Structure 1
């Protein structure tokens, strides 16, 4: 009996030894097949307009960038004016914005470098589907004049964003003062998604980029596109690095990598296809080379 117990004990010990060796070998193989990252991902601060966030585009692009680059992107989605201010103060590493004239100023000041054209879409005037001011199909100056005459409610972002800058530019070019609407001119001071919601609730008109409107339209079924296609409504996006020669805490390598990512062919294909499956049309367009 003792002999049988001894044999059983030896068999158990042999099995444990073989299993242990096998597990060690398997662990070693796994380690060799999946090497660890050599260093922790560095933070990269992206200051951008709310339209890239509200449209859902960044939800597609940022994971793709992080997958192929050892950076952790911290996105700050604000009005373009605020994003540019962050750049001039060195509080961001890279900017993705859509106010060309304001952008050029911080390039000229040396606060931003490596400015690259990325994509475009357009601004549109939207409002109640019943269109009380009767602006549908008019030119931009005609539509704004009609709104003034009818004292129609107009909701402005009023946040120094690219969209707000464009709105003020359109009023000025039309030789009209939106403040003459008095209480009917509502200054939201918020992002595009929130401004659209306010306009919908107030049965008012507003200027929006097409991408954000299409992404949010399901939440405002009674709001319609009323004025579109005017050359003055073109909406151009640029990406640029904050200049480390003026702001020494900037993540220069990360910013440069992000700019290169935004203009490479794979990213262009993602941008070109974004929105097609869901909305039947792309939300952003690429410039011809």
Structure 2
């Protein structure tokens, strides 16, 4: 019987080939990761539709994809503290200052602002008649024991609400007070179903108002000002994050193009946010 000759490939060659394949695969994954930016943000930028408006244009301009984790300000900042995201976009100035001062965040930038509004049943059972005094209105809701739905989720809106309750010198522990641990959209839906009062950012209110059986009962109080910042996660603390991509996104957001887009974004014919970045960078 004739044995046909065959080529024997040494194991060292196979091992080398496998190693090169693994390196190429890993390089491809890292290349893909380098073009993906992880953003943790408050639910208001998501539920208002603003990010759906901005992100396709950002990808068109830069090639980057942004993965959005909409979880409220408190959870977003914690994700930044853990190095789980590349940057945060939030609206709780005191918490953001602590985030930066503790070394978790760098390059905080003003981005935009809107305001909070107090909404409630169209019949206004608490008879607030508070004009633009939100603290007086909250005190009236508690005294009447009306139903008040709190997000109760450590979000920027929840932090603002609790700071306003503190100014009433009353604890929000009356029978009608319900903390639900939900985002702004579900909280508004629940308030509408229960004919309750709640505090909401104006952007989400404008996005949802046509679906709700509620009205604005207090607006215009200076204490309802609602500023947003974008902050990069510190690469010195977390070297594995996509700092370069996050920086490019931050630069893009504060540039005239994105700032103009933020100002032009409307729901039901009304502007949701006012751009107020101090920087005008050239990409």
Q: TM-score interval w.r.t. the shorter chain?
A: 0.7 to 0.9
Q: Report the CA distance between 1:279 and its aligned residue.
A: 2.2
The aligned counterpart of 1:18 is none
The aligned counterpart of 1:212 is 204
CA–CA separation in structure 2 for the residues paired with 1:213 and 1:145:
22
CA contact (8 A) 2:58 2:252 kept: yes
Task: Say whether 1:116 aligns with 2:109.
Answer: yes
Gaps of 5+ in 1: 1-38
The aligned counterpart of 2:260 is 269
CA–CA separation in structure 1 for the residues paired with 2:143 and 2:156:
26
| C-alpha RMSD of matched pairs (Å) | 1.3
Matched residues, number: 246
Measured against aligned partners, the alpha-carbon deviations of 1:123-146 in whole angstroms (never above 9, x if no partner) come to: 000000110001144311211111
Match of 2:180 among 185, 188, 213: 188
CA–CA separation in structure 2 for the residues paired with 1:237 and 1:111:
18
CA contact (8 A) 2:42 2:71 kept: yes
The aligned counterpart of 1:255 is 246
Task: Say whether 1:52 aligns with 2:41.
Answer: no
What pairs with 1:230-241 in structure 2 (closer than 5 Å)? 230-241=221-232
The aligned counterpart of 2:5 is none
The aligned counterpart of 1:286 is 275
Which runs of structure 1 show a deviation greater than 4 angstroms over 4 or more consecutive aligned residues?
none
CA–CA separation in structure 2 for the residues paired with 1:200 and 1:264:
38
CA–CA separation in structure 2 for the residues paired with 1:253 and 1:133:
52
CA contact (8 A) 2:46 2:52 kept: yes
What pairs with 1:117-132 in structure 2 (closer than 5 Å)? 117-132=110-125
CA–CA separation in structure 1 for the residues paired with 2:276 and 2:65:
28
CA contact (8 A) 1:94 1:258 kept: no
- Paired residue secondary structure (1:178): coil
CA–CA separation in structure 2 for the residues paired with 1:72 and 1:207:
32
CA contact (8 A) 2:260 2:275 kept: no
Task: Say whether 1:175 aligns with 2:161.
Answer: no
Gaps of 5+ in 2: 1-30, 279-283
The aligned counterpart of 2:57 is 64
Measured against aligned partners, the alpha-carbon deviations of 1:167-224 in whole angstroms (never above 9, x if no partner) come to: 0000001211111x12x1111101000000000011000000001001001111x200
TM superposition score normalised by structure 2? 0.84
Q: Report the CA distance between 1:64 and its aligned residue.
A: 1.0
Q: Report the CA distance between 1:255 and its aligned residue.
A: 0.7
Distance 1:262 1:227, change over 3 A: same
CA contact (8 A) 2:252 2:258 kept: yes
Deviates more, 1:138-147 or 1:166-175: 138-147
CA–CA separation in structure 2 for the residues paired with 1:145 and 1:174:
6
Q: Report the CA distance between 1:288 and its aligned residue.
A: 7.8
Measured against aligned partners, the alpha-carbon deviations of 1:114-169 in whole angstroms (never above 9, x if no partner) come to: 10000000000000011000114431121111111110000000000000000000
Q: Write 1 or 2 for the structure with the bigger share of helix.
A: 1
The aligned counterpart of 1:5 is none
The structure having more radius of gyration, on CA atoms, is 1
The aligned counterpart of 2:142 is 148
CA–CA separation in structure 1 for the residues paired with 2:186 and 2:270:
23
Measured against aligned partners, the alpha-carbon deviations of 1:53-90 in whole angstroms (never above 9, x if no partner) come to: 00000001111111111322110001100000000110
Measured against aligned partners, the alpha-carbon deviations of 1:239-277 in whole angstroms (never above 9, x if no partner) come to: 0100110012110101100110110000011000100xx
